[in-house]
């Protein structure tokens, strides 16, 4: 039986470049504040959570590891293959804990999906689908992406694939070995008043290390869809479709009538719940996932054992998004996913700095849309700056 968890972590310091907001939050939480990351790392603490911009996590994580801090890093783990190789090496060198803070495997339904798959309920995975399609209103989108160079305004449609992929990998223990992808661009003449230069969404096909195929659908095509399905050699387990952000949270399990084993039924649908020891997850964000990432990070630090979402799985999921964009720019060409556990494969990646983000722009670098260098209209820029001013952001 799993004992009741003791997270026992205390927030002691925060670091940010938005000084006005930083001071306010620091006072509310009664913690030290820093605008200089190096000075922040000198604070007396055991671990760091990198919750900075999507494409900046690896350098900050590496710096924290070198300062002797354990690291929990939000998605994505790396923006380039070179960063992925460097991050894996630094975790190995340091001997410290690195956890990839991907919270979607830890909803009640996805925890139960893993339990069923690991128990052999549907056999060996053959095909799976993961969807994280999360459209938002224009102004809500602008409020969480202040600035023309903000990562959300320059993100290719394949990069934020971990919410779609992570629950499937966690349920099956499979790893991606190759990817193909297609991107869905905004139709001509229909671009909204948005500074975003990327596409609406994408579909990625992952070949997994047992030969299975996973289909991923992500980004912001109209119509919320957070949903997962796994077909195996003995049946199917899937989320039921429902209204709202998470839907009803039910699971449907299906077996063919001719393949029923004693005690099984052809089909059942039920609502799973968190285990009793994790009752606090019911009040946590992202369907309970935010509770589990913190819990397992603390547990890994105390035991010295790497968490399930270790650096290798985190980098693998992130690299899928990078290579899928290379594929989308070539209308679905396949790309092999390197195994970053293997130093020989890391050597082949250590100089790969291919990146779509503004700070890396230059010859040989990609744009974040299959339509090329998309330029936001003057009206879109004016509207964006109006909204950003309202939230106190100064470009």
- Domain CATH code at residue 185: 3.30.360.10
Please say whether the beta carbons of 53 and 72 come within 8 A: no
What pLDDT is recorded for position 119? 97
For residue 28, count other CB atoms closer than 10 A to its CB.
Answer: 8
Q: Is the pLDDT of residue 182 over 70?
A: yes
Is 373 within a domain?
no
Residue 107 tokens, joined: 């909803």
Q: What is the mean pLDDT of residues 319-338?
A: 98
Of 42-51, 156-165, 171-180, 191-200, where does mean pLDDT reach its minimum?
191-200
pLDDT at 3: 45
Looking at the DSSP bridge assignments, the partners of residue 235 are 232
Q: How confident is the model at residue 243 (pLDDT cuts 50, 70, 90)?
A: confident
pLDDT band for 63, please (50, 70, 90 cuts).
very high
Q: Picking from 58-67, 84-93, 386-395, which range would have the lowest pLDDT averaged per residue?
A: 386-395
Q: Give the single-character DSSP code of 278.
A: G
> Is the pLDDT score of 2 beyond 90?
no
Q: Is the pLDDT of residue 190 over 90?
A: no
Q: What number is the average pLDDT over the span 160-180?
A: 98
Full domain range(s) for residue 202: 104-284+309-360
- The CA distance from 53 to 64, in Å, is 16
- Higher per-residue confidence, 170 vs 241: 170
Rounded CA gap, 149 and 146, in Å? Answer: 8
- Residue by residue, DSSP assigns 300-350 as HHHH-PPPSS-HHHHHHHHHHHHHHHHHHTTTS--EEPP-TTSHHHHHTTT
Question: Could you tell me if 223 and 134 are in contact, meaning their C-beta atoms sit under 8 angstroms apart?
Answer: no
Q: How far apart are CA 288 and CA 105, in angstroms?
A: 10
Report yes or no on 277 lying in a domain: yes
Average pLDDT over every residue of 261-282: 92
Looking at the domain assignment, is residue 184 inside a domain? yes
The domain total for the chain is 1
pLDDT at 339 over 60: yes
pTM of the model: 0.95
Residue 223 falls within a domain, yes or no?
Answer: yes
Structure tokens at 159: 């990069």
> What value does the mean pLDDT of the chain take?
95
* Bond into 301 cis (ω within 30): no
pLDDT for the residue 6: 58
* Cβ 31 vs Cβ 13: under 8 Å: yes
């Amino acid at each position: 039986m799993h004992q009741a968890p003791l997270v026992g972590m205390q927030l002691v310091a925060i670091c940010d470049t938005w000084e006005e907001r930083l001071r306010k939050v620091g006072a509310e939480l009664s913690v030290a504040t820093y605008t200089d990351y190096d000075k922040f790392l000198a604070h007396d603490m055991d671990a760091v959570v990198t919750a900075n911009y999507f494409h900046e996590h690896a350098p900050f994580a590496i710096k924290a590891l070198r300062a002797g801090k354990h690291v929990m890093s939000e998605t994505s783990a790396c923006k380039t293959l070179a960063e992925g190789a460097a991050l894996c090496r630094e975790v190995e060198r340091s001997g410290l804990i690195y956890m990839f803070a991907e919270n979607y495997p830890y909803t009640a339904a996805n925890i139960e999906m893993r339990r069923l798959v690991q128990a052999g309920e549907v056999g060996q995975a053959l095909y799976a689908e993961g969807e994280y399609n999360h459209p938002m209103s224009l102004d809500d989108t602008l409020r969480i992406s202040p600035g023309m160079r903000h990562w959300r305004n320059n993100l290719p449609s394949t990069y934020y694939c971990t919410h779609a992929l992570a629950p499937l990998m966690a349920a099956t223990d499979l790893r991606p070995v190759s990817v193909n992808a297609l991107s869905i661009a905004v139709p001509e003449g229909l671009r909204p008043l948005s500074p975003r230069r990327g596409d609406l969404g994408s579909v990625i096909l992952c070949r997994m290390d047992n030969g299975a195929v996973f289909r991923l659908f992500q980004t912001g095509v109209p119509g919320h869809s957070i949903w997962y399905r796994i077909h195996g050699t003995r049946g199917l387990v899937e989320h039921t479709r429902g209204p709202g952000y998470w839907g009803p949270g039910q699971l449907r399990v299906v077996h063919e009538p001719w393949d029923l084993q004693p005690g099984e039924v052809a089909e059942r649908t039920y609502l799973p719940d968190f285990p009793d020891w994790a009752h606090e997850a019911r009040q946590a964000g992202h369907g309970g996932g935010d509770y589990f990432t913190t819990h397992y990070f603390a547990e890994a630090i105390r035991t010295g054992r790497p968490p399930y979402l270790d650096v290798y799985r985190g980098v693998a999921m992130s690299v899928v998004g990078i290579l899928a964009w290379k594929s989308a720019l070539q209308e679905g060409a396949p790309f092999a996913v390197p195994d970053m556990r293997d130093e020989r494969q890391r050597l082949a990646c250590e100089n790969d700095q291919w990146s779509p983000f503004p700070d890396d722009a230059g010859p040989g670098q990609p744009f974040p849309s299959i339509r090329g260098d998309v330029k936001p209209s003057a009206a879109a820029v004016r509207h964006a700056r109006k909204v950003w001013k309202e939230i106190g952001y100064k470009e």
